[in-house]
Amino acid sequence: MLETGNSFEEIRDRFRWDIPEYYNIGVDVCDRWADTCPDQVAIIHDDGDYQEEFTYQQLKARSNQLANLLTNLGIGRGDRVGILLPQNPYTAISHIAVYKLAAIAVPLFTLFGRDALQFRLVDCAAKIVITHAQGAHKLSEIFDQLPNLQNILCIEGNQFNSIDLAKEIEWHSEDYPSQNTRADDPALIIYTSGTTGNPKGALHAHRTLLGHLPGVEMSHDLFPQPGDKIWTPADWAWIGGLMDVLMPALHHGVAVVSCRFKKFTGEAAFALIDKHEIRNAFLPPTALKMMRAVSKAQSHVAKPMRTIASGGETLGAELLEWGREIFGITINEFYGQTECNMIVSSCAALFPSAPGVMGLPAPGHDVQVISATGEAVALGEIGNIAVRAPDPVMFLGYWNNAEKTQEKFIGEWMLTGDKGIAQKNGAIKFVARDDDVITSSGYRIGPGEIEDCLIGHPAVQMAAVIGKPDSMRTEIVKAFIKLNDNSKQSEQLMGELQQWVKERLSAHEYPREIEFVEALPQTSTGKIIRRLLRESA
């Protein structure tokens, strides 16, 4: 936790990492509080139709029961357990139980289609998946293609030949002797899409939660403060929802509001904030834009919020000014990525924000703008945003992919893949991505997986995918399609291709625009030149 101080410089200079040799995320975020403040509220779950609260003691009891159940099902140290759930208390319970077991949690987005789930579960060789009825249905359709998957645990009863989790854990003890894990032991695999080929699994150690804390605390103006209560619309399957909100809040004993809207709207977001008197929120820029579009937004703010943090896309001057007008606060922008998150942040309580400037490196993180050879570039020059290793928040490497892990580094510097400009005060201005990753509604989407999916359609000969600028979503996915000789373009085929991607990958990855072309621009070695496609889009 950051110490108090009169200035950012004072806080930064006094900060020292305190990473113990032995550390377990599950024990830290759950048992530590359950043993001292058992009745303290940890999660407030609002499902629209009903609302319930989970105390730390309840989290401990349920996670211990689940840990015992998983043990009886053969899960042990290092085994991978998929967690295919939306925001829900059992999502947190599942993570805590897996960490206590010294197993490895693999969060999975509920909108993933069959192909996306199959690749990830085969790649990590998951033995068990914890899910809901919808997820159990998807998994039942590909179960025969998952050679390592032994059981499906469902939180909504015995669905599609799954095990009724709620019923089964009742037979197990509420006591569990958590495994003794080192801070560097693996705890979590989060899959991230790159520019080409299949997604890569970023493997994180237990220490990653401790590494997140300085950036989280900065982005919420020295979080926590008395009365804080936090929420995000970001899915807990992504590192932004899981490690920027859920786990840091539980670490600090701050109540987390859990809610997964059937459809996110600005009106629904304001209503939830008012209903639960939410004081802190992580709101991606797309969510902020949708909230800004609500007419007479001022009438929706019943009680002032203390902090709003935002990341995933850069904030412009308009959103910053709107935040000050509606909420009376400055929205703090932060920066990071799945492999090394929460490394740069603004902090209105300590220094002023500027549009386009992400903030200052959070205490404990050495973030610089470097050249292709690993040397710092001059102030005002564009270079590669990089983080010096070792760093507690940095990933251990890509799961079963040493080659891609090595490509991520230049000497002791881990490359983020983004371009930036160092400012005189040490702040970093974001310039552009250094690759073809698409940023849409806060999600980072790799075109390679979508292209592979489209090529699998019998009408498609070649496909190329880019991000097209969009005022609401930052970018939308656009696909350029070269059809087979015996296929003809039509509105019907366009809709069929969009549905093809939705069902097999995810509803957030389908191409909102499709353009049929006679040929695609390629290099002499056959690589598609996406830059030319972006210029023509």
pLDDT one-digit tens code per residue, 10-38: 999 999 999 999 999 999 999 999 999 99
Q: Residue 211, SS3?
A: helix
Angstrom distance (rounded) from CA 434 to CA 432: 6
- List domains and CATH numbers for the chain: 24-39+56-181 (3.40.50.980), 438-536 (3.30.300.30)
Element holding 120 (H helix, E strand): helix 114-124
pLDDT one-digit tens code per residue, 456-505: 899 988 888 999 999 888 899 999 998 988 899 999 999 999 999 999 98
Residue 524: the pLDDT is: 43
Angstrom distance (rounded) from CA 309 to CA 331: 6
**Token output for 151:** 């059981």
Nearest to 306 by CA among 223, 245, 243: 223
Q: How far is CA 308 from CA 232, 339, 518, 524, in A?
A: 10, 23, 47, 48
pLDDT one-digit tens code per residue, 417-435: 888 889 988 899 887 666 6
Cβ-based neighbour number of residue 321 at 10 Å: 13
Q: Is the peptide bond before 511 cis (omega within 30 degrees of 0)?
A: no
Cβ-based neighbour number of residue 61 at 10 Å: 21
Split at pLDDT 50, 70, 90, the class of 290 is confident
Q: Which residues lie across from 30 on neighbouring strands?
A: none
Q: Are 368 and 376 in contact (CB under 8 A)?
A: yes
Angstrom distance (rounded) from CA 284 to CA 347: 16
**Token output for 167:** 């019923």
Which comes out higher in pLDDT, residue 216 or 469? 216
* pLDDT above 90: percentage of residues in the chain: 70
pLDDT one-digit tens code per residue, 384-417: 999 999 999 999 999 999 999 999 999 999 999 8
Cβ-based neighbour number of residue 263 at 10 Å: 5
| Secondary structure, 3-state, 325-361 | HHHCCCCEEEEEECCEEEEEECCCCCCCCCCCEEEEE
Which comes out higher in pLDDT, residue 382 or 29? 29
